[in-house]
Structure 1
Amino acid sequence: MKNHKRTTIYDIAKKLNLNASSVSRALNNDSNISEVTKKLILDTARELNYKQNSLASNLRRGHNRTIGVIVPHINQNFFANVIAGIEEVTYKKGYSLIICQSNESYEREVDCVNTLINQHVNCIVISVSADFKEDTHLKSIVEHGIKLIQFDRVADNLDTYKVVNNNEQASMEAVSHMIKEGYKRIALLEGPQNLNIFRQRKSGYLAALKKHGIAVIPELIIENAWTKELGAAATRKLLSLTQPPDAIFASTSDFSALGVLEIATKMNIPVPETLGICGYSNEAFTEITSPAITTIDQHSITMGQTIANLYFDEAGSGTESLGNKVINIQPELIIRKSTSKCNV
């Protein structure tokens, strides 16, 4: 196969018997280059199929129209939709995105941050990994003069722009809904408590029990059950209790709720008659399971749009906002058949 060498400014300069600096200035519309020479150089560039290195060009001009995004998982509906929301806004502004995936690894997250810093991006948007330990790498972003916007999973103690959900309120509404449907022993599948979102969701669960005068039963709270497999294992454990739960709130994710439903189906436990199930995040599959799973929609596309607009309206302006740096997106409880005990 023939190797097609990338055309450079030196190729253009050689063909026109000019120096490379003149070609570079013409391609960057330098006013010191005559219009006749500019046209000649641009025509030759098109003829040789020259593609300008936008990163190098932007760095020379002192700016780079690129935003880096770091998420735990690209293939989860929530994070994919956040990215789509960001891109919808940035594309119209002529900005590009660089997407990185931490895969829930703190070390990989640090590598992603360093890569984006070295790419001289204008802004880094991040939702931290489940393995998050400390925020030195996030402080490094700010120290390099790069705007930092955290979303969903954030480092609470770091004073940056944050776009988050009201997780506590959403969880309280979900558990209150199940109580009103007649469920009395509601179990909680909780995520890693080093992450703000899972602490908030647990607080909402506890607040709902307190509001309705229901005692907290420690054996009904299962730690770190935040994947489909861990959700399934937690369900087996809960259903083996002398007094098993009659509902399970998978506050970690819909994947965990799917694990609950899978075990209930295998054990021939009717849902929602004998066991109610509620997930979190409104993944696409929750509408088509049997029964469809009650969940909480985090309005992820809106969150992404809000993040991008925050950068352009405030962070990108070169000045710090005088207002609140934390923007809350109100989640929405989506009630489906898996918790509709009263309508069976």
Structure 2
Amino acid sequence: MRSKKRTTIYDIAEKLNLNPSSVSRALNNSSSVNDATKKLILKTAKELNYTRNTLASNLRKGHSKTIGVVVPRINQNFFSNVIAGIEDATYKQGYNLIICQSNEQYEKEVQCVNTLINQHVDCIVISVSVETTAHDHLQNVLDHGIQLIQFDRVVDELETLKVTNDNEQSSFDAVSHMITQGYKRIALLEGPQKLNIFRQRKTGYLRALKEHGIAPIADLMIENAWTKELSAAATRQLLSLPEPPDAIFASTSDFSALGVLEVATIMQIKVPQQLGICGYANENFTEITSPSITTIDQFSFYMGKTVANLYFQEMENTDTVVVPKVISIKPKLITRASTTRE
């Protein structure tokens, strides 16, 4: 079936035998069009189901009032809450969002960014994928004169506006908490070290061990355990050691912590008595597992609002050169049953 053609001001002008410019002025409530003609044009527009092309109108004014957002996974609580925070702030300013997900794939991330550039968005907000090592596509955003804001996972080499978490301090707090609960052999499930957030979390882990006089053990640190399946495999490897860990810090995510908990349950290892578990991100399910999972709240909704407000603040800045600015948000450790020994 052929799709119905969108009604334009030219269709209205043709039906009324008027100049298209007169129709345009009437639809914009210009005083140069008399009330009778204006009323007739508005009536005809309604009959023809005319809707204003807001994007085209905004582009003529020099902006699209649209922000593009690229995240690794929309269905993760952290990223969905960031998007919700951005939308909460942008809606009040009359802006729209276009949301894309990279599915943790570099090529798809590049495609998303190029699509948003072609959509003439005013700003692109991005948290890069685990595969992202090059950043030519992000430089391309800047070369097109589009504002670029990085959040959470950022490219350090690219000087842009950034909103991040204090990953090092939050990891330090988590590991220090486990040490005070009596855990001495604390394993670390790491994410890919090419990403800034996972490097920072490892630094916090190592700092906590050092400050409490505990020597790091290479066998207790496993890289690339950033999914539930990978962390489950890593947990089986750790628990098969002659001297297994008595706690595991899943620094990548709560999904990784869930993989640890499932393996412990299958192996009939008591949590937290025999094995402490801490995740990262405060996903909704962490409150309802048995036992509930200690985690780190990144204040993701607030982060999203901070991202949007940073953009609007820069819009009001009269300077022609954007000065790189980094806003760091301090996460909060939420202690639950998985690390709390009686």
* TM-score bracket, shorter-length normalisation: over 0.9
Match runs of 1:209-288 below 5 Å: 209-288=209-288
Residue of structure 2 in register with 1:197 after alignment: 197
Q: Distance in 2 between matches of 1:62 and 1:49?
A: 27
Q: Distance in 2 between matches of 1:177 and 1:81?
A: 26
Query: What root-mean-square deviation, in Å, do the aligned CA atoms of Structure 1 and Structure 2 show?
Result: 1.8
Deviations 1:86-107 (A, max 9, x none): 0001001100000010110111
Match runs of 1:31-70 below 5 Å: 32-70=32-70
Q: Distance in 2 between matches of 1:203 and 1:3?
A: 57
Q: Distance in 1 between matches of 2:145 and 2:159?
A: 15
* Letter of the 1:74 counterpart: I
Structure 1 position 43, deviation (Å): 2.4
Q: Is the 8 A contact 1:190 1:222 kept in 2?
A: yes
Q: Is the 8 A contact 2:250 2:279 kept in 1?
A: yes
Structure 1 position 36, deviation (Å): 4.2
Q: Is the 8 A contact 1:315 1:321 kept in 2?
A: no
Runs of 4+ in 1 over 3 A off after TM superposition: 1-5, 28-39, 315-324
Deviations 1:237-269 (A, max 9, x none): 000000000000000000000000000000000
Q: Distance in 1 between matches of 2:169 and 2:336?
A: 19
- Provide structure 2 residue ranges, at least 5 long, that are not aligned to the other structure: none
* Letter of the 1:143 counterpart: D
- TM superposition score normalised by structure 2: 0.96
Structure 1 position 320, deviation (Å): 6.4
Q: Taking structure 1 as reference, are residues 321 and 10 closer, same or farther at Cα in structure 2, changes over 3 Å only?
A: closer
SS of 1:6's equivalent in the other structure is coil
SS of 1:158's equivalent in the other structure is coil
Deviations 1:204-241 (A, max 9, x none): 00000000000110000001001000010000000000
The percent of aligned pairs where both chains have the same amino acid is 71
How many residues in Structure 1 have an aligned counterpart in Structure 2?
342
Structure 1 position 279, deviation (Å): 0.2
Residue of structure 1 in register with 2:168 after alignment: 168
Residue of structure 2 in register with 1:141 after alignment: 141
Compare 273-282 and 320-329 and name the one that shifted more: 320-329
Structure 1 position 6, deviation (Å): 2.7
Q: Distance in 2 between matches of 1:30 and 1:132?
A: 50
Q: Distance in 2 between matches of 1:69 and 1:39?
A: 40
* Letter of the 1:255 counterpart: F
Structure 1 position 323, deviation (Å): 7.6
- TM superposition score normalised by structure 1: 0.95
Q: Is the 8 A contact 2:159 2:324 kept in 1?
A: no
Structure 1 position 44, deviation (Å): 1.5
Residue of structure 1 in register with 2:14 after alignment: 14
Q: Distance in 1 between matches of 2:110 and 2:171?
A: 31
Q: Taking structure 1 as reference, are residues 43 and 318 closer, same or farther at Cα in structure 2, changes over 3 Å only?
A: farther
Q: Is the 8 A contact 1:314 1:321 kept in 2?
A: no
Structure 1 position 27, deviation (Å): 2.7
Residue of structure 1 in register with 2:151 after alignment: 151
Q: Is the 8 A contact 2:247 2:275 kept in 1?
A: yes
Compare 189-198 and 17-26 and name the one that shifted more: 17-26
Q: Distance in 2 between matches of 1:323 and 1:62?
A: 22
Q: Is the 8 A contact 1:257 1:278 kept in 2?
A: yes
Q: Taking structure 1 as reference, are residues 34 and 61 closer, same or farther at Cα in structure 2, changes over 3 Å only?
A: farther
Residue of structure 1 in register with 2:93 after alignment: 93
Structure 1 position 40, deviation (Å): 2.7
Structure 1 position 126, deviation (Å): 0.4
Structure 1 position 30, deviation (Å): 5.1
Deviations 1:156-185 (A, max 9, x none): 011111000000000000000000000000
Structure 1 position 316, deviation (Å): 5.3
Structure 1 position 35, deviation (Å): 4.7
- Provide structure 1 residue ranges, at least 5 long, that are not aligned to the other structure: none
Structure 1 position 280, deviation (Å): 0.2
